[in-house]
Amino acid sequence: MIRLPSPPAPADGDAAAQWVRSHLGDLCCDTATASPAFVGGQAAADRALSEFDVRGYAAGRNEVWPATRRAASKLSPYIRHGLLPLPLVWEHVESGPGRDVDKFREELLWQEYARHLYARVGAGNARPLRYEPQSTGVESVSDLPDMACLRMVTAELESDGWLVNQARMWFASHWTVRNGWDWRRGEDYFFRHLLDGSRAANRLGWQWTAGMATGRPYGFSQYQVRTRAPGLCSTCQLQSRCPIGSRPEPAPLDPVPEVIVGPVSDEHAMAIAGPHRTISTTTPEAVWVTAESIGAADPAVLANPALPVVFVFDEPMLRRLRLSGKRLVFLAQCLADLATWRDLEVWRGDPVEVLAGRALAATHTPVPGWRRRSARLLLAQVHPWPWLVTPDSGSLASFSTWRRRLQTVQPRRARR
């Protein structure tokens, strides 16, 4: 294990990239550079939220190209890393036009549903949830046809680390529904590059697009490009012989033999949800934060203003994942921001070894990796996760079933 110097100021993407290349470069799949589209850190997250106006969201959220037509919020990297907890984002749009607010909040609920699902089944969400696809061989980004629409998707993903939802669906559909390629390879490709990449939402997105969640695959064809990216086809060398001129014929999907998203016991649901209030056993000496919750809104950070904050770049995990450097640059920028208002320790190593023997304050985090590691650490104080909706024991077999169960969503007040 190695203690690292704090990363340099967040606004300076080049310096953050240099810091990642020096200290973590061997763990990345590419040469680390900053995303030209996003800056990590609480200040950037707060700015993005305050500048986001939900007006026009419902009509424009699916627009893809040119970028000026898009009405998507681009808040996802900040939501993903807990800089903007869902209840805070939910509240932010309160005074907007009803149709836009409803549509936007519905998407926040998709994020929450993905988290519930992942918290409950963990890596089980890497298996088809309800319907089994048939995959056929070749599966590499370099095997894709040279079409302007797909080229735009891969270029933006690899440079910025972000895509609008519609573009994600196009790519995932082309990969799975039209080509029948292994969805997990495509999902890994997204996960490596997306600044908002999470195994919760990314796997659900791929499962949904390929029809594994619903039995109804999403078909991508030239029609969507003409509608959502008008003019893009005229820049395409394959325009006159477009390989996706008609809708794909999806291969039949078979129901999976064992559905793992059915109801669970109340005890199991409570364990997943974590504590409703802070549990203290002894006095903490430091606050442990992870990439799931790395900002000022983290409940354990908030509750312990005088304690140092510790972050560990999990070397064994990063060596296995081989993420794009821009994801680590984004995290380095988040840490640089944190260091401007808190005492910060940054480490590289195995978190269980780095943190051994220290009494820690932490926020319950509903992902399997946190559960595994925290079980081997001394957690002196555990704070509740800021759920939008507390997980229950009911079936998670589909978003709509889950959604119907929620009466009105009344998030606990987001604290900052």
Q: List residues near ligand FAD by CB under 6 A.
A: 61, 72-76, 79-80, 107-108, 110-111, 114, 164-165, 168-169, 172, 190, 194, 196-198, 201-202, 205-206, 209
Taking the complex as a whole, the smallest distance from the CB of residue 155 to ligand FAD amounts, in Å, to 17
Taking the complex as a whole, the smallest distance from the CB of residue 356 to ligand FAD amounts, in Å, to 31
Tokens 């081997």 identify what position?
Answer: 376
User: Which has the closest alpha carbon to 163: 193, 192, 120?
Assistant: 193
Q: Is 363 helix (H, G, I), strand (E, B) or coil?
A: strand
CB atoms inside a 10 Å sphere around CB 292: 18
Query: Per the structure block, which two tokens stand in for 369?
Result: 């990796």
Cβ-based nearer residue to ligand FAD, 172 or 296? 172
Taking the complex as a whole, the smallest distance from the CB of residue 258 to ligand FAD amounts, in Å, to 24
Radius of gyration of the chain (CA): 21
Give the Cα separation of 130 and 256 in Å (integer): 5
Report residue 231 CA to chain centroid gap.
Answer: 30
Report the greatest alpha carbon distance in the chain: 70
Taking the complex as a whole, the smallest distance from the CB of residue 70 to ligand FAD amounts, in Å, to 8
Q: Is 344 helix (H, G, I), strand (E, B) or coil?
A: strand
Cβ-based nearer residue to ligand FAD, 23 or 70? 70
Cβ-based nearer residue to ligand FAD, 10 or 205? 205
Taking the complex as a whole, the smallest distance from the CB of residue 299 to ligand FAD amounts, in Å, to 19
Taking the complex as a whole, the smallest distance from the CB of residue 8 to ligand FAD amounts, in Å, to 27
Of the CA atoms within 13 Å of residue 92, those in its CB half-sphere come to 24
Tokens 């395409």 identify what position?
Answer: 236
Taking the complex as a whole, the smallest distance from the CB of residue 206 to ligand FAD amounts, in Å, to 5
CB atoms inside a 10 Å sphere around CB 252: 10
Find the residue with minimal CB distance to ligand FAD. Answer: 205
Alpha carbon distance, N-terminus to C-terminus of the chain: 33
CB atoms inside a 10 Å sphere around CB 377: 18
Give the Cα separation of 52 and 173 in Å (integer): 29
- Asked if residues 325 and 414 have their Cβ atoms less than 8 Å apart, the reply is no
Q: Is 282 helix (H, G, I), strand (E, B) or coil?
A: coil
Q: Is 165 helix (H, G, I), strand (E, B) or coil?
A: helix
Cβ-based nearer residue to ligand FAD, 186 or 384? 186
Taking the complex as a whole, the smallest distance from the CB of residue 101 to ligand FAD amounts, in Å, to 12
Alpha helix ranges (H) inside 214-289: 222-228, 266-273
Tell me the CA distances in angstroms from 104 to 38, 56, 163, 296, one per residue in order: 21, 10, 17, 24
Taking the complex as a whole, the smallest distance from the CB of residue 110 to ligand FAD amounts, in Å, to 4
Taking the complex as a whole, the smallest distance from the CB of residue 378 to ligand FAD amounts, in Å, to 32
Cβ-based nearer residue to ligand FAD, 169 or 335? 169
Cβ-based nearer residue to ligand FAD, 61 or 326? 61
Cβ-based nearer residue to ligand FAD, 107 or 345? 107
Specify the amino acid at residue 103: K
How big is the chain, counted in residues?
416
Of the CA atoms within 13 Å of residue 240, those in its CB half-sphere come to 0
Cβ-based nearer residue to ligand FAD, 144 or 270? 144
Cβ-based nearer residue to ligand FAD, 205 or 211? 205
Specify the amino acid at residue 218: Y
Taking the complex as a whole, the smallest distance from the CB of residue 173 to ligand FAD amounts, in Å, to 9
